[in-house]
Amino acid sequence: MNQRSIKRRFPEIRKEIMLSLSQGQKTVNKLANDSGINWKTVNNHLIYLMGSGLVNEVLSTPYVKIFELTENGRETINPFFSKNMRFEERKIPIKMQL
Residues 28, 67 contacting (CB under 8 angstroms): yes
Domain for residue 82, yes or no?
no
Domain for residue 17, yes or no?
yes
Domain for residue 31, yes or no?
yes
Q: Quick one: angle between helices 10-21 and 28-35, nearest 10?
A: 120
For residue 58, give its domain range. Answer: 8-72
Domain for residue 68, yes or no?
yes
Domain for residue 48, yes or no?
yes
Domain for residue 38, yes or no?
yes
15-51, pLDDT tens digit by residue?
Answer: 999 999 999 999 999 999 998 999 999 999 999 999 9
Q: What is the CATH number of the domain that holds 32?
A: 1.10.10.10
**What secondary structure letter does DSSP report for 91?**
-
Domain for residue 40, yes or no?
yes
73-96, pLDDT tens digit by residue?
Answer: 998 887 655 454 554 455 554 444
